């Protein structure tokens, strides 16, 4: 039994006329009649009683019509669902976020645009540090993740989204609180709050190297579990810290934010993903991030 035979049978059962059914199907009447005869032969009983001007269903035909209709409807639904999934219109997308990346408006814009374009795709989110997220993407436990560069992404592909300046955060009543900008060397005498190196080895090393180039060896007074928590530690008076500029929206009592002169410290938010992953939902999301990176002014 062929799927088209079910469609042909249902057309005849609806019109109760071979010529009308053939026209609705866009085929000639003889092939239609032949397929119905073939179907009846395979089933082993007549489905229609033929009259000169019309046909009518036999009892077997009426029973078969109900089953055939369900089969065709389920097949059409399966076809539509498969096509939607193939276009990335349904399914699931799992995303990771390094804690500090969620503060940037372009990250939120990428999620909002994807949700608007593909509302049928469910999004799962998890937050961790960049190093852990690299492992999870590489192990296919997460489809893609927003991390901070510099970072050794090894075999993973990267799509940079936005580059940010690094700001200095001073604790309450700091001697330089009234200055709009600072040289990194101005912080030489202050204890530094920094995230642990395993969280982001390359970014950690770039900060230490920048301090060395500014003429001092930083004294790390406290390690913050995440970049974002360093601001609250500064507010508590443990020292100064350095953060990406988008994180200045964190409201911590008494701290002040200052640009660093010389532009020596930057960090980039990037999406990392497996280059061999051809899942439509993943490719659609990468496309959105790529477009926003090219035209951030449109957000």
What CATH number does residue 33 fall under?
A: 1.10.10.10
Domain harbouring 171, CATH code:
3.40.190.290
Structural domains counted in the chain = 2
Mean pLDDT of 109-134: 92
Are residues 30 and 99 located together in one domain of the fold? no
Give the residue ranges of DSSP H helices in 16-58. 18-25, 29-43
Q: Which of 169, 293, 286, 294 lies closest to 231 in space, CA to CA?
A: 169
pLDDT tens-place string over residues 217-269: 999 999 988 777 899 999 999 999 999 999 888 888 999 999 999 877 999 99
Are residues 197 and 102 located together in one domain of the fold? yes
**Which domain does 9 fall in, by range?**
3-86
Are residues 201 and 168 located together in one domain of the fold? yes
Instruction: State the pLDDT confidence band at 80, using cuts at 50, 70 and 90.
Output: low
Residue 84 has pLDDT above 80, yes or no: no
Q: What is the pLDDT of residue 261?
A: 92
Are residues 101 and 76 located together in one domain of the fold? no
Are residues 121 and 76 located together in one domain of the fold? no
Q: Is the pTM of this model over 0.85?
A: no
Cα–Cα distance measured from residue 94 to residue 141, given in angstroms and rounded to the nearest whole number: 8
- Percent of the chain having pLDDT more than 70? 96
DSSP string, 132-164: HHHHHHHTTSSSEEEEEES---TTSEEEEEEEE
Using CA atoms in the order 39, 42, 48, 50, what is the torsion angle rounded to 10 degrees? Answer: 80
Q: Of 66, 86, 106, at which residue does a domain stop?
A: 86
Are residues 121 and 265 located together in one domain of the fold? yes
Are residues 143 and 73 located together in one domain of the fold? no
Q: Of 59, 86, 113, at which residue does a domain stop?
A: 86
Are residues 27 and 43 located together in one domain of the fold? yes
Are residues 81 and 105 located together in one domain of the fold? no
Residue whose structure tokens are 């995230």: 195
- The HSE-up count of residue 165 (CA atoms within 13 Å, CB side) is 14
Cα–Cα distance measured from residue 77 to residue 185, given in angstroms and rounded to the nearest whole number: 66
Residues near 94 by beta carbon (within 8 Å), at least 6 away in sequence:
123, 124, 125, 126, 141, 142, 143
Mean pLDDT of 40-46: 91
The pairing of strands 91-98 and 144-149 is: parallel
Q: What is the pLDDT of residue 179?
A: 95
Using CA atoms in the order 97, 103, 104, 108, what is the torsion angle rounded to 10 degrees? Answer: 70
Are residues 126 and 10 located together in one domain of the fold? no
- Percent of the chain having pLDDT more than 90? 65
Round the average pLDDT of the chain to a whole number and report it: 90
pLDDT tens-place string over residues 138-149: 999 999 999 998
Mean pLDDT of 163-170: 95
Are residues 34 and 52 located together in one domain of the fold? yes
Encoding tokens for residue 282?
């993943």
Residue 88 has pLDDT above 80, yes or no: no
Are residues 68 and 102 located together in one domain of the fold? no
Across 3-7, 88-92, 198-202, 244-248, least confident range:
88-92
Q: Of 61, 86, 111, at which residue does a domain stop?
A: 86
């Amino acid at each position: 039994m062929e799927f088209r035979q079910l469609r042909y049978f249902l057309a005849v059962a609806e019109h109760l006329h071979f010529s009308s059914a053939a026209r609705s199907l866009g085929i000639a009447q003889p092939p239609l009649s032949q397929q119905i005869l073939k179907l009846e032969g395979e089933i082993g009983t007549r489905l229609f009683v033929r009259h000169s001007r019309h046909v009518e269903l036999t009892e077997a035909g009426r029973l078969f019509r109900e089953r055939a209709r369900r089969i065709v409807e389920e097949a059409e639904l399966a076809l539509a669902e498969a096509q939607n999934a193939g276009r990335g219109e349904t399914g699931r997308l799992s995303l990771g976020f390094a804690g500090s990346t969620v503060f940037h408006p372009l990250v939120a814009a990428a999620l909002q645009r994807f949700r608007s374009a593909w509302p049928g795709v469910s999004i799962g989110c998890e937050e961790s540090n960049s190093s852990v997220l690299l492992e999870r993407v590489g192990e296919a436990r997460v489809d893609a993740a927003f991390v901070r560069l510099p970072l050794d992404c090894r075999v993973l592909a990267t799509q940079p989204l936005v580059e940010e300046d690094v700001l200095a955060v001073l604790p309450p009543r700091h001697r330089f609180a009234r200055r709009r900008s600072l040289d990194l060397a101005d912080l030489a005498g202050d204890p530094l709050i920094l995230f642990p190196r395993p969280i982001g080895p390359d970014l950690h090393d770039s900060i230490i190297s920048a301090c060395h180039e500014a003429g001092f060896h930083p004294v790390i007074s406290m390690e913050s579990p995440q970049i974002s928590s360093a601001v609250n530690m500064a507010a508590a008076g443990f020292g100064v810290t350095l953060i990406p500029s988008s994180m200045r929206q964190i409201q911590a009592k008494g701290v002040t934010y200052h640009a660093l002169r010389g532009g020596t410290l930057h960090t980039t938010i990037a999406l990392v993903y497996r280059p061999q992953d051809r899942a439509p939902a993943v490719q659609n999301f990468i496309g959105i991030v790529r477009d926003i990176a090219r035209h951030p002014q449109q957000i």
